[in-house]
Amino acid sequence: MQADQSGQRHVGKVAVCGAGVMGAQIAAHCVNAGVPVLLFDLPAKEGDKNGIVNRAIAGLRKMNPAPLGAPELANAITPANYDDDLPRLAECDLVIEAIAERMDWKLDLYKKLAPFIKPGAIVASNTSGLSITELAKVLPEELRHRFSGVHFFNPPRYMPLVELIPTSDTEPALIDLLETFLTSQLGKSVVRAKDTPNFVGNRIGVFGLLSVFAQAKKFELPVDLVDDLTGTRLGRAKSGSFRTADVVGLDTMVHVVATMHDQLPNDPFYPYFELPPLVAALIEKGALGQKSGAGFYRKEGKAILRIDFATGEYVPADSKVDDTVAAILAERDAAKRLQVLRSSEHPQAQFVWAVLRDAFHYAAVHLADIADNARQVDQAMVWGFGHKQGPFEIWQAAGWQQVAKWVADDITNGLALSSEPLPGWATSGPVWEAGGVHTAKGSWNPHTESFQPRSNLPVYSRQVAAPRLVGESSSLGETVVFEDDAVRCFTLPAPHPSDVLLLSFKTKMHTLSQGVIQGIVHGVEIAEGSFKALVIGQLSEPFSAGADLKSMLPLFAQGGVKAVEPVERAMQDMVQRLRYAQVPVVAALAGMALGGGCELALHCAKRVAHFETYLGLVEVGLGLVPGSGGLTHFARRTAQLQAQTSSEIPLLALLKNPA
Percent of the chain beyond pLDDT 70?
A: 97
CA distance 413 to 408: 9
Asked whether residue 375 carries a pLDDT value surpassing 70, the answer given is: yes
CB atoms within 10 A of CB 369: 13
Per-residue confidence band for 462, with pLDDT thresholds at 50, 70 and 90:
confident
What pLDDT, on a 0 to 100 scale, did the predictor assign at position 474? 83
- Check the CA dihedral 344-350-355-360 and report its sign: positive
CB 361 within 8 A of CB 418: yes
What topology is assigned to 201-424 in CATH?
Answer: N-(1-d-carboxylethyl)-l-norvaline Dehydrogenase; domain 2 (1.10.1040)
Q: Are 80 and 52 in contact (CB under 8 A)?
A: no
Mean pLDDT of 512-534: 97
Mean pLDDT of the chain: 93
Pick the closest to residue 545 from 513, 502, 578 (CA basis). Answer: 513
Contact (Cβ atoms closer than 8 angstroms) between residue 211 and residue 241? no
DSSP 8-state code for residue 547 = B
Domain ranges of the chain: 2-192, 201-424, 479-628
Say if residue 240 is exposed, middle or buried (CB neighbours under 10 Å; 0-12, 13-18, 19+): buried
Instruction: For residue range 544-570, list pLDDT tens digits in order.
Output: 999 887 777 787 778 887 877 888 899
Average pLDDT score over residue span 173-189 = 95
Closest C-alpha among 474, 561, 558, 569 to residue 521: 569
DSSP label at 160? -
The winner for highest mean pLDDT among 9-13, 276-280, 358-362, 512-516 is: 358-362
Cis before residue 156, ω within 30 degrees of 0? no
Instruction: Flag whether pLDDT at 651 surpasses 50.
Output: no
Is the confidence at residue 1, as pLDDT, over 60?
no
**DSSP string across 227-246:** HHHTTGGGTS-TTTTHHHHH
Per the model's pLDDT, the better-predicted residue between 653 and 276 turns out to be 276
Q: Does the fold of domain 479-628 match that of domain 201-424? A: no
pLDDT confidence bin for 2, thresholds 50/70/90: low
pLDDT at 659 over 50: no
Instruction: State residue 557's pLDDT score.
Output: 77
CATH 3.90.420.10 assigned to domain 2-192? The reply is no
Tell the CATH topology of 479-628: 2-enoyl-CoA Hydratase; Chain A, domain 1 (3.90.226)
The predicted-structure confidence for 214-239, as pLDDT tens digits, reads as follows 999 999 999 999 999 999 999 999 99
**In angstroms, rounded to a whole number, what is the distance separating the alpha carbons of residues 260 and 544?**
43
DSSP 645-656: H-SSPPHHHHHH
pLDDT at 653: 42
Say if residue 159 is exposed, middle or buried (CB neighbours under 10 Å; 0-12, 13-18, 19+). middle
pLDDT per position as a tens digit, 319-354: 999 999 999 999 999 999 999 999 999 999 999 999
**Residue 66 has what DSSP assignment?**
-
Predicted TM-score of the model (pTM): 0.91
Distances from the Cα of 376 to the Cα of 200, 268, 453, 552, 574, angstroms: 8, 22, 12, 44, 43
